[in-house]
Amino acid sequence: MFLVLLGSAATTVAAVADPGVFTISITAWLWLTAVFGNLAEAVAEGRGKAQAASLRATRTDTVARLLADDGSESEVPATQLEVGDRVVVEAGEVIPGDGDIVEGIASVDESAITGESAPVIREAGGDRSAVTGGTRVLSDRIVVRVTAAAGETFLDRMIALVEGTSRRKTPNEIALSILLASLTLVFLAAVATLAPMAQYAGAPQDVVVLVALLVCLIPTTIGALLSAIGIAGMDRLVRVNVLAMSGRAVEAAGDVSTLLLDKTGTITYGNRQASRFVAAPGIGADELRDAARLSSIADQTPEGRSVVDLALTQGADDRDLPTGATFVEFTAQTRMSGVDLSDGTEVRKGAGSAIAAWLGAEQPAEVHDIVEEISRAGGTPLVIGRKDRHGAGQVLGVIHLKDVVKAGMAERFAELRSMGIRTVMITGDNALTAQAIAKEAGVDDFLAEATPEDKMAYIHREQEGGRLVAMTGDGTNDAPALAAADVGVAMNSGTAAAKEAGNMVDLDSDPTKLIDIVEIGKQLLITRGALTTFSIANDVAKYFAIIPAMFVVAYPSLDKLNVMDLATPQSAILSAVIFNALVIVGLIPLALRGVRFRAASATSVLRRNILVFGLGGIVVPFVGIKLIDLVVSTLPGLGS
């Protein structure tokens, strides 16, 4: 595009020295080509600045309640906060800066950041302690330790990223830029040597014609759209509430060949649910059902509630509550819940080892086999035990808890597999459970009982084999793996350590979005490849338009190459220049929207691009230049 600018200046001088319809027209359209080349990037950046403006609107001049070591409070502007300061935030107040909750629990409105209206719970300790400056506390009181200085908060980084100021060219984009520069130099050398050859052949060419030929042959189309394609890729991520720390991360997502996905919350819903009751020998189905319901009434965990729901769907009476009964709540210490009836009977539900200890006897062989079968199937067995008033105990049966795989996951994994991407499930479950879930979900591999060291080692093994790896995480224990992965997507609800380690942040904290990120990255690469193919293919028609026009006077037989039957040499050259400028404008929407993504192998994508954009890049200019020539040839001085 710099050469286009220089060429426009040169033809301007020529037009001033020797004004004419042809010279002035060529000069005007060359300047328009330079303008259109900057228009694509300007439109893409304009969209980003509009989003940045909306983010700035969420920023307010906040007064922070600084907490001193002696417990006293003082009000200071949020801009004066330093890393390590502790601030108090109560219901209705805005959190003054990024930080971690060190005391308390609160409901926080993060709609200004994520766009989600539903508030989220944030509490001290664990992986849900991180809060973002600019969000509002809806309930309770929390103490926040500041982790980012003024000007370096998450919201500040979001604004900078959206505006594109932090965007750097990716390796693929740099390689393409080198290719385009090389082609430009080759065509520049060809046009430079063409001038003396034309002089020798008796068909001297003026500078306007040579500049027009150069601009039409160099890859101005993709050169003008290259930056816009990259910016639009980041913009598409922002629209799905994902922020990439650099353009490199977006492009790396398109080249990813291994996806590491957490089982809980990503592949499965995370809440195990009761799926069936399996009675021990000699125990009726209704007897087990009622015992399971009674022993779970005081268990308010999602698993306990699912047991009650399953019993009700199988015919239990919700109004049938025994009088004088004492319900025993579930605790992490006992790992049991249950009920003590007025006649001295006790019923308990819990882990097999806990029930065995409570009964003071080992499980019967038949029950042990049921437990093993459920475990091999990837489920969690809960045993129901009962003692009569004399203390004699027996096992009534087993409840099968199942971690439900999300609908449609197997199909999405199949699509990824068709693109040559391996999916790996990461879980803390034992190998048997992990194997069963992996088989049901359709992933290619799994990593069971995974520790931070295991995740790191797996990522390094994949990378040593030449693969690019992407993973999601939200906890401090995920930070090393997020930093090691080529694409590390941190959840906005996660810890500050996780967000600092990753190179993308998902504002919605939806782990399944990693699949969408990969698709957006691939769409960026496909779009760039498609438009590059179209740009290079365009040259074919321009050869047939300009070369015969330049030499037809010296070599009349070249008129046979005028397959488009263009009116005159001048109208042919001008038509090619006009088409070269207009095609940039015509392709801006496609560059911003991206070529439609379809899950397919690299070979089929390449074949489709060659057929659609390669063949289209040859045919479209022939049609376009001919139509423009029909109009241009009517102008005075350009017609036959």
Cβ partners under 8 Å of residue 636, min gap 6: 21
Q: Where are the alpha helices (DSSP H) in 120-264?
A: 154-163, 171-200, 207-217, 220-239, 247-255
Decide: helix, strand or coil at residue 219: coil
- Which of helix, strand or coil describes residue 366? helix
Distance between start and end Cα atoms, the chain: 33
Query: Which positions ≥6 away from 580 have C-beta within 8 Å?
Result: 33, 215, 216, 220, 221, 538, 542
Which residues does 12 contact at the CB level (< 8 Å), separation at least 6? Answer: 27, 31
| DSSP per residue, 551-618 | HTTT-GGGGGG-TT--S-HHHHHHHHHHHHHHHHHHHHHHHHH-PPP----HHHHHHHHIIIIIHHHH
Burial class (CB in 10 A: 0-12, 13-18, 19+), 637: exposed
349 in a labelled binding site: yes
**3-state secondary structure string, 414-476?**
HHHHHCCCEEEEECCCCHHHHHHHHHHHCCCEEECCCCHHHHHHHHHHHHHCCCCEEEEECCH
Query: Nearest-CA neighbor of 58 among 159, 139, 166?
Result: 159
Is 418 within any annotated ligand binding site?
A: no
Q: Is 255 a catalytic residue?
A: no
Do the annotations mark residue 380 as ligand-binding? no
51 annotated among ligand-binding-site residues: no
Identify the CA nearest to 399 among candidates 328, 281, 304, 316.
304
Residue 336 labeled ligand binder: yes
Question: Does 474 show up as a binding residue in the annotation?
Answer: yes
Annotated ligand binding at 111? The verdict is no
| Selected catalytic residue, list 156, 235, 262, 510 | 262
Question: How far is CA 613 from each of CA 43, 182, 532, 583, 627, rounded to the nearest angstrom?
Answer: 23, 22, 9, 13, 20
In which order are the strands placed within the sheet that holds 487-491? 242-244, 504-506, 487-491, 469-473, 258-262, 422-426, 445-447
Q: How would you write 62-95 as a 3-class SS string?
A: CEEEEECCCCCEEEEEHHHCCCCCEEEEECCCEC
Return the structure tokens found at 514.
Answer: 């990693």
Phi, psi (rounded to 5 degrees) for 47: -65, -40
Number of H helices, E strands in the chain: 22, 21
Distance between alpha carbon 163 and the CA centroid of its chain, in Å? 18
Q: Report yes or no: 621 and 567 within 8 Å, Cβ to Cβ.
A: no
Asked whether residue 331 is marked as a ligand-binding residue, the answer is yes
Q: Does residue 199 have a known ligand-binding role?
A: no
Q: According to the annotation, is 504 in a ligand binding site?
A: no
Q: Tokens 């009622």 label which residue?
A: 290
Please list, residue by residue across 428-438, b when 16 or more beta carbons sit within 10 angstroms of its beta carbon and e when fewer do: ebeeebbbbbb
Crossing angle between the packed helical segments 207-217 and 539-551, to the nearest 10 degrees:
160
Rounded-to-integer distance, Cα 171 and Cα 559, Å: 45
Q: Is 568 annotated as a binding residue?
A: no
Contact by Cβ (8 Å): 336, 252: no
State yes or no: 303 annotated in a binding site. yes
Picking from 438, 440, 418, the residue whose alpha carbon sits closest to that of residue 426 is 438
Nearest CA to 520 out of 323, 249, 228, 264 is that of: 249
Q: How far is CA 461 from the centre of its chain?
A: 24
Give phi and psi for 193, each to the nearest 5.
-80, -20
Which residues are part of a known binding site?
A: 299, 303, 330-337, 349, 474, 478
Can you say which residues are annotated as belonging to the binding site for ATP?
Answer: 299, 303, 330-337, 349
Binding residues for Mg(2+): 474, 478
As annotated, the active-site residues are 262
